[in-house]
Amino acid sequence: MTTTARTPQRGMALIFALLALLALSLGAVTLLHSVDSGTRVLGNLGFKQEVTNATDRATQAAISWISSHSDSNATANLQMAALDANDASNGYYATANGEATASSTIQVDPTGQRTASTGINRRLIKWGGSSDNCAYAANVVAGECVLSAREVVTANGGSEPVTLRYVIFRLCTQALAPLAAGNTCSQPITSAGGTSSDRGELNYAKPSPLTGISNSVYYRIVVQATDARNTTTVTETIVQY
Identify the CA nearest to 194 among candidates 181, 210, 179. 210
Domain ranges of the chain: 37-96+150-240
Average pLDDT estimate for 125-146: 90
Rounded CA separation 103/216 (Å): 22
**pLDDT, position 223:** 96
At 44, give phi and psi (nearest 5°). Answer: -65, -40
**pLDDT, position 161:** 83
* pLDDT reading at 206 higher than 70: no
Contact 124, 140 (CB under 8 A): yes
Q: Which residues of 86-107 are buried (b: 16+ CB within 10 A; e: fewer)?
A: bbbebbbbbbbbbbeebeeebe
Contact 117, 106 (CB under 8 A): no
Q: Which of 109-118, 178-187, 217-226 has the highest mean pLDDT?
A: 217-226
**pLDDT, position 1:** 54
Q: How confident is the model at residue 111 (pLDDT cuts 50, 70, 90)?
A: very high
Average pLDDT estimate for 39-63: 74
Average pLDDT estimate for 120-148: 90
The CA-based diameter of the chain, rounded to the nearest angstrom, is 127
**pLDDT, position 33:** 65
